[in-house]
Structure 1
Amino acid sequence: MKTSRPIRARIAPAAILHNYRLAKRHAPGSKAWAVIKANAYGHGQWRAVEALRGEADGFAMLECENAVALREAGVTQPILLLEGVFSARDVRAVIEHRLTSVIHCLDQLELLVRNGKFDTPISLCLKLNTGMNRLGFTAATLPKAWEILQQLPQIDITLMTHFAEADGERGVSWQLDRFRQLAGDWSGPVSLGNSAAILRHAEAHGDWVRPGIMLYGASPFADQSATELGLQPVMTLESAIIGVQQLAAGDQVGYGGTFTADQPMRIGVVACGYADGYPRHAPSGTPIAVMGRPTRTIGRVSMDMMACDLTDIPEAGIGSPVTLWGQGLAGNVPADEVATAAGTIAYELFCAVAPRVPVVVDGANVAERT
């Protein structure tokens, strides 16, 4: 999509590869599913696949139809359906296209049994609920699952779980204990570590890890930055100044007058708003960069515009480049810092970028949005 409006999201595929390799270095004894759900966390499923096609051990996603599309495009690595199958059609696709399906409840397992043909090997990830309490078998439901699975020929099983607090003080040991209790004498493969566990809990990697947010250059931790972890930002949201206003002390800015100047100020209006995916609830003071200089947002974010402080950047004016987050020509603004200021997480920033925002891929000559 081409547009004369200056906002764009710039994607750096080389950074995805760098971050995947970092995950592998942290978990050298594990294979890694590259998690590309939610359109690769807003970065573009196909961009992520192309960046990792020659290197990823496997890909993990949600929609069966997207997994089939990867197979039809020549992707040969294992592909994991993180929420499993939803219909008989999904079951048939899993078998035909050699997909790996999570199975997290008896209803799903029975769907598989009713609709599957087991004359070829099928790979399943049996999910155990160890405390996240979203999906997974419990001590009450797991025996029945084993009973059913033992009747099926040619089933390759990996046990998996998901950590609720790998990024926090409680850590993963309590869930690992529950996992071991549920798994019993299981000696087959297991899939455990998410991004936080990969980076901080070596004991919780397993045979397969599942790097997600770290692939896209954001930190899973509140107390450690992406830069400190060695991650590279993949998405840069950038725009330009489209208007300048001079304020007197007492002047207010934006809808609701939520910001009042306490002294004479010069402000810039940026072509970016909540309709572009920038968080409307981001308060005054959220970090932003103009012409390579750090500054702050001012007032309430509007649908198509927002204001920033240019008082100490006298050289800035209409047309000056702006970095909303990422590593841009106008300066570096970590997405994690923007998210923290807005009371959210970088995951949401990335996933919320609107379809109307053009995407430019580093190394490509055209804008795209897929």
Structure 2
Amino acid sequence: MSSNQTSCHFDSGIFMLCEARPIFLDIIYVTTGLYCLLSVLSLSLLLYKTFFKKASWWNDYMVEPVIGFLTFLTLHGLFRSLTLIILARELIPSRYILKSIISFLSCLFEIIAIWTYMVGIFKTLPRLAFHQINTFNGDKHFIPGDRLIKLSYWAFVIITTNLTLISAILKGYYQTIGDEQGSSMFLSIFLAVIFAAEAITFACFIKYGRLLVELLNGSARLSGVSDDISQESIVKFAKYKMYVTKMKLTNSILTVVVGWYTVFSLLLLLLRDKIPITSKNSAFIIGVNAIGTALVILFALFSIAHGELYKRYSERAVDLITSIQWSNVSRVRSYEMEYDNGETNNPRDLR
């Protein structure tokens, strides 16, 4: 067995083929198919929302959350598929800089896609919290405003993109001149950037994803305080509860994805030179990671497609809560007027 078949090593963040070549090839082809499917579904949804729903791409110096999420998810699937095809077919063997850029960008687009999804959560939270002033304790939760959201988003995108491109170019350059130490150093820098970005995103999902569900549940509870909701309102409320369930599922799936990427990037950063990857067991572990991650992202995409995301539903929620609160305020004021006129002797009616 030749030397290039007895050892496995990293190339652009992906395992080179070695003695477990047949197993690795099967894993690569299955994963490539899943990411191609992810790209096709994301692109189909993107075209549907653009041309049929007439969704805007740009709003108040920000990418519209759903459109941005689908765009970057499409790019993530395309670049990841291209990376795997290059690896499986051993294409452009000496173009290390190009291969590094393609591979690194595939990871970057996944992070930006999920961060763009987070923007939708950040934009929805203040509106839901505003209409729950009596039940929501703002002192316990910091909710960023629009200006901070824009600054944070663009700072996140610009910093991670620049660091990713610089790391990819320099890693490929050092690999071209045969400097393995320099190549390994910039791969480590890239993995550190990915870990930091994923960790920040994971922390935001844990805090604000749960807060979104909490506020949506609060809206549902407020929706039940009126005794004279019409049949039409009951139907809308049932759809609203279904939407809350879908949001829980979507947030849970994406939290799992980001959490796993955080752990996996940290393991690669710390242990990539120490983990033996020449056995079939290693190939199985790699396959579970690659295929499992692709399937989970597809799950999230299906959930999002079925739920018809943020803007329309958040507006319905706000309209529903507003109408119910107006109804309650009007009812309390009528009780107060009756009490002032001596028409009721039971102050508890004011509740």
What TM-score do you get using the length of structure 2 for normalisation? 0.21
Please identify the structure whose Cα radius of gyration is greater.
Answer: 2
What TM-score do you get using the length of structure 1 for normalisation? 0.21
Give 1 or 2: higher strand fraction: 1
Give 1 or 2: higher helix fraction: 2
